[in-house]
Amino acid sequence: MRFLVIEDEPQISAYLDRLLGQLGGVIDIVESVTDARHALSSFNYDLAIVDRMLPDGDALSIVTTLSRLPERPAIIMLTAKDAMEDVIDGLNGGADDYLGKPFEPQEFIARARAVLRRPRVFVSSMLSFGNVELKVGTNEATVAGHTVLLRRREALILEALLMRRDRVIAREALVEAIYGFDDEIESNTLESQVSRLRKKLSELGSNVEIRSMRGIGYILRMASIR
């Protein structure tokens, strides 16, 4: 999963980053309407958390844009503008939920989980290939009947590979799927994480394998019979 936080207050965005970390996935944070539009042109998001009043305008325009996308994310407006007419404008503008500031963290997480459960966000809550299954939005995988908790980025790698099973995924696309654009990535970090995931799958008796395509990327396919 990938989340977009549109919030210009650093303390609040950092707090939202920690809260959304409970849901797994990649979290991108932007502080303006302009930066939000740039992020949306670069990535598809499962959930957008949107503050209204930003330095360069009212983010309600972003909500309206998001709500018209063919594969639209879930949208929660999180703003101090919580008068009844503001809530009505937000919901009519395309938001799935509207939460005023200040907010209770448990309520925020509950609302986020609720909008993420809606059918337009997830086609399936489970991805599978061969004897490997991954519960989307969690770090929990099942391999040959054995349940294993993966590290967060290992789960994101597996999710990306399962979504493109039997097709090559370019290294750059895999990096985009598991890292936020503010993350610092060392040259061999992705390779190390793929290697750990490959080893775990093998040790648990997986009948699929992650193959490296030199100079291109990776592919998840059925393992060769030896």
- Residue in 183, 180, 190, 184 with CA at minimum distance from that of residue 3: 180
Final residue in a domain of this structure, among 56, 87, 116: 116
Domain containing residue 29: CATH number: 3.40.50.2300
Given the structure tokens 């963290």, which residue do they identify?
105
Residues in the chain: 226
C-beta of residue 41 within 8 angstroms of C-beta of residue 65: no
38 and 68 both lie in a single domain: yes
The pTM for the full model equals: 0.63
The type of residue at 2 is: R
100 and 172 both lie in a single domain: no
59 and 140 both lie in a single domain: no
108 and 7 both lie in a single domain: yes
**What is the band of 61 on the pLDDT scale with cuts at 50, 70, 90?**
confident
Angle between helices 171-178 and 152-163 (to 10 degrees): 130
- Residue in 19, 199, 158, 113 with CA at minimum distance from that of residue 96: 113
What pLDDT shows up at residue 13? 94
150 and 109 both lie in a single domain: no
As a whole number, the mean pLDDT across the chain is: 87
16 and 96 both lie in a single domain: yes
Domain count, the chain: 2
pLDDT in tens, 142-163: 999 999 999 988 999 999 899 8
Domain hosting residue 64, numbered range: 2-116
Final residue in a domain of this structure, among 87, 116, 145: 116
Final residue in a domain of this structure, among 63, 83, 116: 116
List Cα–Cα distances, 128 to 45, 190, 220, in angstroms. Answer: 21, 22, 11
104 and 163 both lie in a single domain: no
Q: Is residue 33 one of the residues assigned to a domain? A: yes
Domain containing residue 144: CATH number: 1.10.10.10
Cα-flanking dihedrals φ and ψ of residue 132, to 5°?
A: -110, 130
What value does the mean pLDDT take over residues 202-224? 91
First CA to last CA across the chain, in angstroms? 35
pLDDT in tens, 84-111: 888 888 888 888 899 999 899 999 999 9
Q: Is residue 121 one of the residues assigned to a domain? A: no
Q: Is residue 110 one of the residues assigned to a domain? A: yes
The type of residue at 19 is: L
Q: Please, what is the Cα angle at 122 between 119 and 126, to 5 degrees?
A: 120
Alpha-carbon gap, residue 209 to 203, rounded angstroms: 11
Q: Is residue 27 one of the residues assigned to a domain? A: yes
Alpha-carbon gap, residue 60 to 77, rounded angstroms: 9
